Structure 1
């Protein structure tokens, strides 16, 4: 339940407009529009709203929502939290718009549904709440939601949180990569420090490899990593690196593109590539690995096209 009585509070002019148009046009021509409008209004009775904040050091939030510094704050990886593979009913992410005027829903808002109608209904609060720096996640249905365990990356404990509560959290997250912090007053403001860390028990040691993630792409069912690999190009070592990287980072079906030259970053999204770009890209990419195929493909772009370009040079 939302704690602001003025939440999802608005005026709407569309009903009056529909009534007026009914006197000018046949009802059949307006029926679809009226039904759509009613569906959007009814949406507010069914939706789920998850409220977050960008500011974990806000004194008022700790007083309001964390039992006067006796509770905790959860830090999320937002991209993983809103992953539609976990929750297909996730629809919108909004930063709250703070203003003291009651939002008015007009005909233009029906045309621009997300930025107009939906945002005015669910992402507008009075200016008195501005300090919360709130972000809202909107779901089609209220109720419990799923998320990948790696979406939780940290826990902040209040200055008055008991050791019993802290120890219970350490136990809950003992097999996950989570950092635990304590928030405390310092020089008339809140500060924080790392007090504990839990880690997954991994089969492979990724720390032995020197690499840099150039780009990460993710959608509902698949993710791709583009990686600058600085180690030896021995097949056995690259294979171990692939297994270690995948174990550490990947949460979906995935593809890994491994390069020995980071200067190709600007070519990753270039399609089609001209001959010079293709040669540079092919010479730089040393391995591709898909998790549904255990075979690692070396020099995947040194193909017929590559040979033809080289032949005429």
Structure 2
């Protein structure tokens, strides 16, 4: 899935974030909508009062519940980060409001790559637009069915007037800077008023990353925008952060496969080749088929590898047969 972030008004800052493969997740107080995170607690308050009437001898427990609820509210406003993205790159209002009146740019991310490797994992969900505040109840707080439901209620609702943003939100465990896999950036769209010098600066800074570039134009006799692909001014064969890590001895051992899965043994080698090209991989430790997760119609493979960040701890990833085929076909230096 492709998602988009409009940038403008602070070119030096935005270019530095791009260069360093980082994004900033704001807390509710830093966003432009003063109603961010606004919720109704009428249901919760009524339920607490009912509990007090039914169980007057358990007053200390309702005090504890209230303190727990306040901690959740504080976390919402002071700890969690929000990275707001759109599903559209050609919305005139978004270009006007968030890209410095069309003088900025828009980054296209591949969502899976943007989320990949995050620990703890980021939550994400579509924005919900409504004329009514979400009303939090005691059951919402205590529910264990969906870990994201309470976060979505607190940070996923906005007034209907914001619906044009068509927003997808990533919620981070802490607000502030977050790093991502540089391959998450697939394309950059330049605003129709963006200066040639700034376009050149971005292309120069981002060279070697296999990024596509587009210039926004007005469609003839229309209010609508169109994206025209333009040439990279700095083509190069030197790739950014590209290396091929070693594969440990006996990391790939087809003899571990059960007889019914022997036909899939070539996929072990394919996955090893994919993983050794991961940006943070320093050694492929082990590759195998997950017998517990696989069926003959849907085999699942896994790889363990060491990273620069934790060379003493292996990182584990899972791939389907289709995913391996797709990623392996992209390799051009076998």
Q: What is the TM-score of this pair, normalised by structure 1?
A: 0.65
Aligned to 1:98: 129
CA contact (8 A) 1:110 1:116 kept: no
Aligned to 2:318: none
Aligned to 1:138: 171
Distance in 2 of aligned mates of 1:75 and 1:42: 32
Which structure 2 residues correspond to residues 82-161 of structure 1 after superposition, within 5 A? 82-85=115-118, 88-112=119-143, 114-161=147-194
Distance 1:22 1:272, change over 3 A: closer
CA contact (8 A) 1:95 1:136 kept: yes
Distance 1:186 1:20, change over 3 A: same
For residue 34 of structure 1, report the CA deviation from its aligned partner.
Answer: 3.0
Which structure 2 residues correspond to residues 185-204 of structure 1 after superposition, within 5 A? 185-187=218-220, 188=222, 189-197=224-232, 201=238
Aligned to 1:21: 51
For residue 155 of structure 1, report the CA deviation from its aligned partner.
Answer: 0.8
Distance in 2 of aligned mates of 1:133 and 1:227: 43
Q: Which structure's CA Rg is the greater one?
A: 1
Distance in 2 of aligned mates of 1:255 and 1:199: 32
Distance 1:174 1:32, change over 3 A: same
Distance in 1 of aligned mates of 2:304 and 2:132: 53
For residue 204 of structure 1, report the CA deviation from its aligned partner.
Answer: 9.2
CA contact (8 A) 1:184 1:190 kept: yes
Q: Secondary structure at the match of 2:202?
A: helix
How many residues were matched structurally? 243
Q: Does 2:72 correspond to 1:40?
A: yes
For residue 109 of structure 1, report the CA deviation from its aligned partner.
Answer: 1.6
Q: Structure 1 unaligned runs (5+)?
A: 206-225, 230-237, 259-267, 293-313
Q: Which has the higher contact order (CA 8 A, sep 6+)?
A: 2
Deviations 1:264-289 (A, max 9, x none): xxxx8775879xx59xx8xxx9xx98
Q: Secondary structure at the match of 2:193?
A: coil
CA contact (8 A) 1:69 1:159 kept: yes
For residue 249 of structure 1, report the CA deviation from its aligned partner.
Answer: 5.7
For residue 90 of structure 1, report the CA deviation from its aligned partner.
Answer: 4.6
Deviations 1:215-248 (A, max 9, x none): xxxxxxxxxxx9988xxxxxxxx98x88874565
Q: Secondary structure at the match of 2:163?
A: helix
Deviations 1:33-57 (A, max 9, x none): 3333222111122221110000001
Q: What is the TM-score of this pair, normalised by structure 2?
A: 0.61
Distance in 2 of aligned mates of 1:83 and 1:272: 20
For residue 89 of structure 1, report the CA deviation from its aligned partner.
Answer: 4.7
Distance in 2 of aligned mates of 1:193 and 1:142: 35
Once superposed, what is the RMSD of the aligned Cα atoms?
A: 3.7
CA contact (8 A) 1:177 1:199 kept: no
Aligned to 1:11: 40
For residue 28 of structure 1, report the CA deviation from its aligned partner.
Answer: 3.7
CA contact (8 A) 1:76 1:151 kept: yes
Distance in 2 of aligned mates of 1:177 and 1:164: 21
Distance 1:244 1:174, change over 3 A: farther
